[in-house]
Chains A and B, each alone.
Chain A
Amino acid sequence: MARPKITLDGNEAAAFVAHKVNEVCAIYPITPSSPMGEWADQWSSEGKANIWGTIPQVVELQSEGGASGAVHGALQSGALTTTFTASQGLLLMIPNMYKIAGELTSTVFHVSARTVATHALSIFGDHSDVMAARSTGWGFLASSSIQEIMDMALISQAATLEGRVPIVHFFDGFRSSHEVQKIEQLTVEDMKAMIDNGLVRAHRARALSPDRPVLRGTAQNPDVFFQAREAANPFYEAFPAIVQKAMDKFASVVGRQYHLFDYAGAPDAERVIVLMGSGAETALEAVDYLSKQGEKIGAVIVRLFRPFSSEALIGALPKTVKSVAVLDRTKEPGAAGEPLYQDVLSACAEAASFGRLPFPMPKIVGGRYGLSSKEFTPAMVKGVFDELAKPKLKNHFSVGIKDDVTGNSVDYDPSFTTEGDDVIRCLFYGLGSDGTVGANKNSIKIIGGETDNYAQGYFVYDSKKSGSITVSHLRFGPRPIRSTYLVTSANFLACHAFVFLEKYDMLKYLVPGGTFLINSPYGPEDVWGKLPKKVQQQIIDKKAKFYVIDGYKVARETGMGSRVNTIMQTCFFAISGVLPKDEAIAAIKKAIKKTYGAKGDEIVNKNFAAVDGTLANLHEVQVPETATSALAMPPVVSDEAPEFVKETLGKIIANEGDDLPVSAMPVDGTFPTATAQWEKRNIALEIPVWDEKICIQCGKCALVCPHAAIRIKVYDESRLKNAPATFKSVDYKGLEFKGMKYTVQVAPEDCTGCAACAYICPAKDKSNVKHKSLDMADQMPLREPERENFNFFLSSLPEVDRTAVKIGTVKGSQFLQPLFEFSGACAGCGETPYVKLVSQLFGDRAIIANATGCSSIYGGNLPTTPWAVNPDGRGPTWSNSLFEDNAEFGYGFRLTIDKHTEYARELLTRLAPQVGEDLASDLLGADQSDEAGIAAQRKRVDALKAKLKDRNDEESKDLLSLADMLVNKSVWIMGGDGWAYDIGYGGLDHVLASGRNVNVLVLDTEVYSNTGGQCSKATPIGAVAKFAASGKPLPKKDLGMIAMTYGNIYVARVAMGASDNQTVKAIIEAEAYDGPSLIIAYSHCIAHGFNLTEGMAHQKEAVECGAWPLFRYNPDLAKEGKNPLKLDSRPPKITYADYAMTETRFKMLTKSHPDRARQLMEIGDAELKTRWHLYEQLAAMTCGNEEKEEAKS
């Protein structure tokens, strides 16, 4: 039977087989493996069966530790079980992996190999995770292409069942997991042919069963453990042959032949490289090209890395080999060499020393490449071969970077290319929100499906979630495409947003004579004049064909909004000639029908209209002979920026980070804060305009702004002397700053245009109600004047005196400088207003532990950070440890602070005679409960430092180094619900129970937001999330209630949109409480599926229906004999459904499972009411003093 040709990515290829040949999948999301679990979950929820006709059970656990435990249990009880993971996730599975292997259990874990966090987290691909797990006793089988992923997923399952050695089947994160390729799909018959049912039954027969009880998992003593450990040896000795047997069988069934090590290249090669993973494809492309030119070179591709078969490796090497470079996609600092290098070296040396090496011992060197998905190109492969030809070989080298510190990097000629003329290469620069990537995935499917061409797509995304850029790299050609690297010589280049031309030098990637298409608001006559001069010159020099379309106009006219995807896709097919135009249009429409058909005719029709409207608006531009533009590309960052920002971060901002040498990087991952201010992104189409005349000066706009892009100050009128002409100011209305001026100022280039401020603004014009004190208006005309105004606001108006502000109020809090600004979070993010508020209230003395997740990405993903400093240079200091241990990490901060404060106080007591008894006593007895107290203490510390600075005794030096500890520090532990409710819950519980003074802020979006909306235990009943495709069946875990049971934890549940006042109060009380505090903050999220502009209104409804009761539990009240629990919201007044049905996460269940949706809403409503009554009763309890007080009165 012919196998279907399909276009899919690596994750789907792995999941496809895994779901078909397993009975249980226990999963947990982690990038880039999450889609494998999502596919499995979705297929099971759609009733798709495995090859035995039964639907696999897919369950989500609370962590990878939990997932591997569940896998272990399911395996031990006889189910064919799998999981999918990467990076830290795999590391968390290691303890169970030892057990699973030790018990000789057949299973396959599919791993999209990802960098393990070291000096920094990275979501991208290398082999550091699988290498960290290589000693577990598992087999490790590597795939280098999408076809191989599907094939090896099956081969590994067949082999593990026979050999009983569990297998990690791995492939490169992103480069393979997310690369889209046209491949041949295996059939159920193929799978049935490969999987021996007898072996499946044998697996089942080995399971624990009370019907034939055994004991497994014993504890053993020194007398026998060793022998028992060696008892498994025969299985490992036999395993390589078993894997080869499975590969051979696969070849007989399917026709593709693999070996444990595959060699390609000249039969008489003298120089050979050895590597595994996606880099092998690029290496093979280079070897093919160079060996055809007569170079005696070759490559050995490692498939089975463990158990390592020395014999098979040596068998694969050509007998003529003289030098070998082993390339590892990992780094093992301090080792004699990276793992694969050591294995190859050992294998050859061992064979040579025992006389089994069939050729003279070659020179063997090791090198590192491609860490964290760093590009690995044929040019680099050639660079390595060139190195191998040198008389003196560089060992332990790196390739692909410039190491100007240790000089270890191999040089190469980046212009070397192996790509054939028969491959069409295309580059598309899209805005994240315009649908470019989706359309390109469709285009690949169209070309892959409608023609005999092979097709490949790889997509580079932004690390920011608002205003993000995507770059799509597409290749089409008559032969399978092995180029696992980015397109840098494009025949077709499309820029889907005109503003990109100012920011990125994309024309450098266009081949001479290539085609350039731009989506432009300017027509064919005007567009030339609007291009920067450099771009004009490049178009002329390259003799490029130049096309223009106003895609936004077509999108507007056809109801597509800002999504130009279909339009630009139509242009691509119309111009590129990949398919005849009519055929292409028909194919696009077919694809539209397929993609959107399920969502309704309306969507299909508007896309059809967009296709039809495109061609009339597509124009070729006559290119003049000379470049005449006066427009130059603006500098990436301002000249006023610090040197490091300009030289290092600026390069990263300009997409030139690859060119930075090793010396440009901090050695330990430490970066300055306050850098987001230099990255002017200008992504808002509209920004708020303040009408000072009707403003009621409530401060809500600044409070809700997710990006600190709208600010408030009060100041003396005299400061306005040199104000720009359009700078607005009005008399302050409050008593506390009577006689002063007041300004609300927008940061026009940092605003994301979310309009949350304008939405919340309560000040309406009495004569024209739709006009508010804040209205949104086009950014372009406002950019210049408001930039000047904002600069004036920042630099000429002083920060408001913290000691004079009533910080316990919404309005007062907003006079404080935000020390968290301009993050790359989604426009309208529901988390960042809380984070910013904390930074305003305590930022100048805060130390923050941040769990991995959205907040760690918008908080700490290069190039810049939103964490900022005040004019004194103080500001939050921030770090991210892991996902799972954040509470413990922050607890560690507290331990140090407590210890150092204690020691500083001891030293101060000892040194009181030297520094002055009065000063010492004031320092030791200072009241730091308010801003004035903090400010006074800081002054005393300055005085202390002045006295200590010239003293030479050890104790004085120690005290000088710890003097700042005499000022209170504020420890904040922040993270999302995935951390707090699931993976980090154990640690959080322990830290909360410790009694130490830490403040925990849970940014509760009710899903794993950062990894794309997977279900957590915070997910409410009836909500659809990934891993809960048919709606979460159980109510949200009540973390607040659990914490309250301890009695000594300050607990608050807040929702800024329902009560901003309560939010401010709770955060201040939590910080003031001398013990552990937990604040659970309702954070609306893009994964809820509604217009985030209205986020605060949704928060309000969540409270009104009882889904999110507001409360504060303050143990200090209990000490006074009062009830510590205060309910801050009213009983439910709308139904759960009234609230829920305004959000896609709930609404979509009514579309997929209407009856279940109704049922869950009813159960949810009842449950919320019950929970409310419980709260009500707890809050009404008498706790001692109330009775006495009543009696008194």
Chain B
Amino acid sequence: MHVAIVPFGPAHSLSAWGKKMDLSTKYLGLNLKNPLVASASPLCSDLETLTHMEETGLSAVVLESLFEEQIRKEEQTLDHFLTQGTESFAEALSYFPEPSSFDRGPEEYLEYIRKAKEAVSIPVIASLNGVSSGGWMDYAKRIQEAGADALELNIYYIPTDLNMPGEKVEQMYIDNVKTVCSAVSIPVAVKLSPFFSNMANMAARLDKAGARGLVLFNRFYQPDIDLEKLEVVPNLVLSTPEEMRLPLRWIAILYGRIEADLAGTSGIHRAEDVLKMLMAGAKVAMMTSALLVHGIGRAADILKAMTAWMEEHEYESVEQMTGSMSQKSCPEPSAFERANYMKVLQSYK
């Protein structure tokens, strides 16, 4: 079933109702002019694009993630190759000039936050991606100092150790969130995967650990196999609208049961997707793939279509619809649970 979308265009202009549609929302304590946010991606690594994003109506941007691995690896690699072969051959005691200071990956990132803050007036959410509770957590503090309005902590972990029990993995998440939340005063959101035995419990524990928002969900880029080269290769596949169902379900389930704000991400391509997310209980809907495919201007189209739909259906504000179809508020709460699964199967008969 699809929500009927009013065609784009001025036919149902805002003035028809005599007052302006209130699209504003509050996410992580930040007042956003609408619920459409650019999620973390390389798109957000260019100042010109950021400005364009603001112009087309996106209400906040999440910057591309600073990866823990990136920090570690870049430092290690640079050190390794700058010292490789040094101090062992009399004519070549080193092979590179060694500047007394380096702009290392994190510094570059911090500098970018500063520049982004100067370039746009919408909130800038930085993103830190990592798994361990090592020294990289210090960067959370430096991200705050660089002027980020909030921090999205992206915990991207694929446990492959057969001997590592689930509770240990979960604890690691909790510990990381606590460490980061205690290090900074800006709000922290956690972006995570759905792969927990009890997602609801995890959400509640993260909420308690200090997360002001949960971003559902992280998309794992699954590797592929190159048949000719017999190599495992990374494979970036853009999201499809179907993917939004999983976060949709969990947002609906969690809405109203935890304090943290919920953000829906994955598969947000159209105005209807945003509307559904909001109704399920998301404060914001985050998107990248649609912007990559259709260009940044897509955001304006979606906002326009969203507004039109809301006008058509006599909604007054985003706030009004937020959570209206959550498990708590929807007419058939069990639809979000196991019964839904049964229904789907039966529908194939």
The interface of chain A, by Cβ under 8 A from chain B, is: 31-32, 34-35, 38, 41-42, 45-46, 123, 174, 178, 431-433, 435-438, 459, 461-465, 468, 470, 559, 561, 563, 596, 598-603, 605, 764, 769, 826, 857, 1009-1013, 1024-1026, 1029, 1086-1087, 1089-1090, 1144-1145, 1147-1148, 1150-1152, 1154
Contacts and interface: CB of A to CB of B under 8 A. Distances in A.
Contact of A465 (B89, B98, B103): B89
Contacts, number: 151
Contacts of B86: 438
A602 B92 contact: no
Contacts of A1013: 92, 94-96
Given A465-B88, A598-B99, 15 more contacts: A41-B97, A432-B85, A459-B87, A462-B90, A464-B89, A465-B85, A599-B79, A603-B76, A764-B230, A826-B85, A1012-B92, A1026-B97, A1029-B97, A1144-B77, A1154-B103
A464 B92 CA distance: 11
B230 A769 contact: yes
Contact of A123 (B81, B91, B94): B91
B95 A1086 contact: yes
B97 A38 contact: yes
Contacts of A465: 85, 88-89, 92
A601 B91 contact: no
11 contacts: A31-B91, A35-B93, A45-B97, A45-B99, A432-B85, A437-B88, A463-B89, A468-B89, A603-B75, A1011-B91, A1145-B96
B78 A1087 contact: no
Contacts of B91: 31-32, 34, 123, 857, 1010-1012
Given A470-B88, A1090-B81, A1152-B103, A599 B75 contact: yes
B103 A1151 contact: yes
B104 interface: yes
Contacts of A1010: 91-92
Interface in B135-153: 135, 138
Contacts of B75: 599-603
B108 interface: yes
Contacts of A1148: 78, 82, 96, 99, 102
Contacts of B96: 1013, 1024-1026, 1087, 1089, 1144-1145, 1148
Contacts of A437: 87-88, 93
B198 interface: no
A1029 B99 contact: yes
Given A1012-B95, A1024-B96, A1087-B95, A599 B89 contact: no
Nearest to A607: B79
Contacts of B79: 596, 599-600, 603
* The 6 nearest A-B residue pairs measured at CB: A432-B88, A600-B75, A1012-B92, A437-B87, A1089-B81, A461-B90
A1089 B84 contact: yes
Contacts of A601: 75, 135, 138
B85 A1151 contact: no
B23 to A, nearest CB: 37
Nearest to B74: A600
B182 interface: no
A10 to B, nearest CB: 13
B197 interface: no
Nearest to A599: B79
Contacts of B138: 601
Contacts of A561: 80
Contacts of B160: none
B108 A600 contact: no
A1011 B95 CA distance: 8
B52 interface: no
A1011 B89 contact: no
Contact of B97 (A603, A1025, A1151): A1025
B234 to A, nearest CB: 15
A583 to B, nearest CB: 26
Interface in B53-111: 71-72, 74-104, 108
A1024 B98 CA distance: 10
Contacts of A563: 83
Nearest to B106: A600
Contacts of A462: 88-90
A880 B248 CA distance: 75
Where chain B touches its partner, the secondary structure class is loop
Given A462-B89, A600-B75, A603-B75, A1089 B83 contact: no
A602 B130 CA distance: 14
A1012 B93 contact: yes
A308 B1 CA distance: 104
Contacts of B100: 46, 598
Contacts of A468: 88-89
A462 B74 CA distance: 30
A174 B99 contact: no
A432 B91 CA distance: 13
Contacts of B230: 764, 769
A599 B93 CA distance: 19
Contacts of A1024: 96-97
A465 B71 CA distance: 31
Given A1012-B94, A1089-B81, A1151 B87 contact: no
Nearest to A459: B87
B88 A602 contact: no
B101 to A, nearest CB: 5
A927 B83 CA distance: 53
Given A602-B76, A1013-B96, A1024-B96, A438 B87 contact: yes
Nearest to B89: A465
Q: Which of A764, A826, A1024, A1148: most chain B CB closer than 10 A?
A: A1148
Given A605-B135, A1011-B91, A1148-B96, A435 B103 contact: no
A419 to B, nearest CB: 25
A1086 B87 contact: no
A1029 B101 CA distance: 12
A602 B71 contact: yes
Given A601-B75, A602-B135, A605-B135, A1151 B82 contact: no
Contact of B90 (A32, A431, A764, A1152): A32
A42 B72 contact: no
Nearest to A373: B90
A32 B87 CA distance: 14
Nearest to B94: A1012
A469 to B, nearest CB: 8
A593 B79 CA distance: 14
Nearest to B78: A599
B92 A1009 contact: yes
Contacts of B104: 599-600, 1151
A768 to B, nearest CB: 11
Given A599-B78, A602-B76, A769-B230, A433 B85 contact: yes
A599 B102 contact: yes
B83 A435 contact: yes
Nearest to A853: B91
A1152 B90 CA distance: 27
Nearest to B108: A1154
A1161 to B, nearest CB: 15
Contacts of B93: 35, 437, 1012
Given A1087-B96, A1089-B96, A1154-B108, A1144 B78 contact: yes
A600 B135 CA distance: 11
A828 to B, nearest CB: 10
Q: Which of A437, A561, A1012, A1087: most chain B CB closer than 10 A?
A: A1012
Nearest to A460: B90
A347 B93 CA distance: 43
A381 B102 CA distance: 49
B112 to A, nearest CB: 10
A1154 B112 CA distance: 12
A435 B87 contact: yes
A106 to B, nearest CB: 30
Given A1011-B91, A1012-B94, A1151 B135 contact: no
Contacts of A32: 90-91
